[in-house]
């Protein structure tokens, strides 16, 4: 009976090792897949940004100047992105205790949106 019990224990250990190995392989595969997808998203973002920069007719500096002409303050951040399918420069300006967000059309230079947040 003890030999049979030992065989069962070995069999259970073998099954457990195989199961753990399969879980480890699935985890590794999932991590690799995530890394590949994340890299593809980053490459897609960089490609779209490069294409967008080529489509812009005003520069980032011009967009900042347009925003400062509207709201005199300290520029905190400039972001180049799409907003409602329009290529814009998002310019964040801080003045006193207010944060102003201006969205400048990258082709026309028009302010297409404006938000003010009070602290």
pLDDT the model gives residue 7: 80
Angle at 77 between CA 72 and CA 79, to 5 degrees: 120
List, for the chain, all residue ranges whose pLDDT scores fall below the cut of 50: none
Residues 6+ apart with CB under 8 A from 78: 60, 63, 64, 89, 90, 91, 92
Say how far apart CA 62 and CA 49 lie, in whole Å.
18
User: Can you give the pTM of this predicted structure?
Assistant: 0.56
pLDDT the model gives residue 34: 80
pLDDT the model gives residue 29: 85
Token pair belonging to 38: 């994340």
Q: Residue 92, SS3?
A: strand
């Amino acid at each position: 009976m003890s030999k049979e019990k030992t065989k069962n224990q070995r069999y259970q250990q073998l099954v457990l090792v195989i199961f753990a190995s399969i879980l480890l392989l699935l985890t590794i595969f999932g991590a690799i897949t995530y890394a590949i997808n994340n890299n593809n998203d980053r490459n897609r973002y960089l490609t779209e940004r490069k294409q967008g920069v080529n489509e812009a007719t005003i520069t980032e500096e011009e967009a900042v100047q347009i925003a400062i002409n509207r709201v005199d303050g300290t520029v905190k951040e400039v972001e180049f992105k799409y907003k409602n399918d329009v290529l814009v420069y998002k310019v964040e300006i801080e003045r006193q205790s207010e944060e102003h967000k201006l969205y400048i059309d990258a082709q026309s230079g028009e302010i297409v949106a404006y938000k003010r947040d009070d602290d």
